[in-house]
Structure 1
Amino acid sequence: MARLHLHLLSDSTGETLEMLAKAALAQFGDADVQRHFWPMVRSVQHLERILGDFEDNPGLVLYTLSNEATRDRLEEACRHLSLPHVSALDPVVAALEERLGQQAHGRPGGKNKMDEAYFERVDAIQFTIAHDDGIASENWEQADIVLAGVSRTSKTPTSIYLANRGYKVANIPLVVESPPPPILFKLKNPLVVGLTTAPARLIQIRRNRLLSLNEKTQTPYVDEEVVSKEVAFARRMFADNGWPVIDVTRRSIEETAAAVIKLHQEREARHEAKRPPQTGPKPI
């Protein structure tokens, strides 16, 4: 199979474009694709500096550009080089313009401005890193989401993924011999979610982890009976506290995070529905 050079070019961080490309490429599991990532392209001068790579590595160009001059130059260059090029968001924006009855704002980087939302995401990432693996329990109440589960149930990578979506996350390992701090059972603000998996799958993951550390000695960490008891211990805790549970056995990190976000959104919607309606001042 021939290699495809995929050029991703954005006038902002390129996060939206990367997510779109990743979702599309997931439909072609064995494709040989080399990505060339070009973020923050906000001028024709900047674009000119990278067109040489387009010529050296011809392929498909996906772009999100708001500046008309930069966009026109890119499209002209692609036509000259006979490169297929797609403005990734145009069909969606056009459909929204038609339905909303208004024109989209042509602001470079408008999707990912370094505004309040950006800094909130940075804050979320910092919080999540500082509260990994049961650290700083005194701050758990400040979290949006708390993930609990036995070792190797994808707590940390899921937490980081959620943090990149703007959620402050703490994650807590559940160990039979060392119960978590009592504060875990008193949390009010964060949504606590239990992560579980099939014992056989967990043993396989843990064995791979030990092999990566050059540890070949048989330990209780991968003992079938011990692991089954760990998983059962965690499940009882989830049930006793009424926490929602996600089985990560056959889920990717992205799928697990999406399920957590859905639970959080549903919880927020329930809380919103319970709030009394706001009323204006009474007429005199």
Structure 2
Amino acid sequence: MAAKETVYVISDSVGETAEFVVKAVATQFNGGNIAIRRSSYVEDTEDLEDAIMMAKQGNSIIAYTLVVPALKEYLDRRTKEEGITAIDLLSPLMDAFIKKFNKEPEHRPGLMRRLDDDYFRKVDAIEFAVKYDDGRDPRGVEKADIVLIGVSRTSKTPLSMYLAHHRYKVANVPLVPEVAPPDEIFSIQRGKCVGLIITPDKLNEIRKERLKALGLTSHANYASFERILEELDYAEKIMKRVGCPIINVSNKAVEETASLILDVLKIERSSTR
């Protein structure tokens, strides 16, 4: 049985991009029956020499993604001296970016991996916000980066999702006079919880609109001033017991409130150090 043709993939990062491209090309030749040998996180010329010698012995191709100029220049020179075919997978597109957008690349390896990690942290935070929304599971209070407490219609859920898109794991807990809040919020770490309040007039307006959207009468107890004042008074007592900073969300956009939340928590955390 004939030995497989081999392509050496060299990268100053993981090398996944180069390997994917090589595999895509290889499928066009004999169904992709080719061996790939990856040299990842190449940091110096010694690492390059190892891969160059192996490629020379096997009469193989080198495909590489090197963003550090010194490593690229060394590899180009040495492969030319050794008569090895070396394919630069990044430079053509990199050069096009430079010419078209008139910007210089950072020449730092691993940036794609950092972007991937950032993306997955965001996904985790969004899933967390959904799982621990509206006090669904009090265990989220202990796991969260930020905990929001307040009466219904103080933007707890929109704020949780907005902050999740900024990679914060947020749990929110509704405060209702008839339902005791979870014990976890009273032992919460300082600098982690924020109470959300709103003026009675604004809450009345919002709740009436909510009832209208649901096809219900605006005279329901949910939107009555007496009920709203009762809830706000109860929520204030809980927030004082928790000892958390309080933000009034009346007439504030979600983005503005989120910024205030991060600011006050930063102050709270710094005061405990």
Q: Is 2:239 the counterpart of 1:238? A: yes
Deviation at 1:108, TM superposition (A): 11
Deviation at 1:268, TM superposition (A): 3.6
After TM superposition, list the pairs within 5 Å mapping 1:100-179 onto structure 2.
105=106, 113-179=114-180
Q: Is 2:70 the counterpart of 1:69? A: no
Amino acid in structure 1 at the alignment position of 2:134 = D
Percent identity over the alignment is 38
Amino acid in structure 1 at the alignment position of 2:261 = V
Q: Distance in 2 between matches of 1:195 and 1:262?
A: 14
Greater Cα radius of gyration, structure 1 or 2: 2
Q: Distance in 1 between matches of 2:234 and 2:211?
A: 23
Runs (5+) with no aligned partner, structure 1: 1-65, 76-89, 91-102, 275-284
Q: Distance in 2 between matches of 1:111 and 1:229?
A: 52
Residues 73/210 of structure 1: CA separation in 2 closer, same or farther (3 Å cut): same
Alpha-carbon displacement from aligned partner over 1:248-281 (angstroms, at most 9, x marks no partner): 002110001001111232234345xx3xxxxxxx
Alpha-carbon displacement from aligned partner over 1:172-216 (angstroms, at most 9, x marks no partner): 111011121222212237711000000110010011111111112
Tell me, what secondary structure is at the counterpart of 1:148? strand
Deviation at 1:139, TM superposition (A): 3.0
Using structure 1 for the length normalisation, give the TM-score.
0.57
Amino acid in structure 1 at the alignment position of 2:181 = P
Q: Is 2:231 the counterpart of 1:204? A: no
Alpha-carbon displacement from aligned partner over 1:30-68 (angstroms, at most 9, x marks no partner): xxxxxxxxxxxxxxxxxxxxxxxxxxxxxxxxxxxx945
Contact 1:147 1:194 in 2 (8 A): yes
Using structure 2 for the length normalisation, give the TM-score.
0.59
- Structure 1's consecutive aligned runs of 4 or more residues displaced over 6 angstroms after TM superposition are none
Tell me how large the CA RMSD over aligned residues is: 2.7
1:282 aligned residue: none
Residues 207/163 of structure 1: CA separation in 2 closer, same or farther (3 Å cut): same
Tell me, what secondary structure is at the counterpart of 1:114? helix
Alpha-carbon displacement from aligned partner over 1:10-30 (angstroms, at most 9, x marks no partner): xxxxxxxxxxxxxxxxxxxxx
Amino acid in structure 1 at the alignment position of 2:153 = R
Residues 217/116 of structure 1: CA separation in 2 closer, same or farther (3 Å cut): closer
Q: Distance in 2 between matches of 1:109 and 1:254?
A: 31
Contact 2:194 2:244 in 1 (8 A): yes
Q: Distance in 2 between matches of 1:219 and 1:169?
A: 31
Contact 1:144 1:189 in 2 (8 A): no
Runs (5+) with no aligned partner, structure 2: 1-92
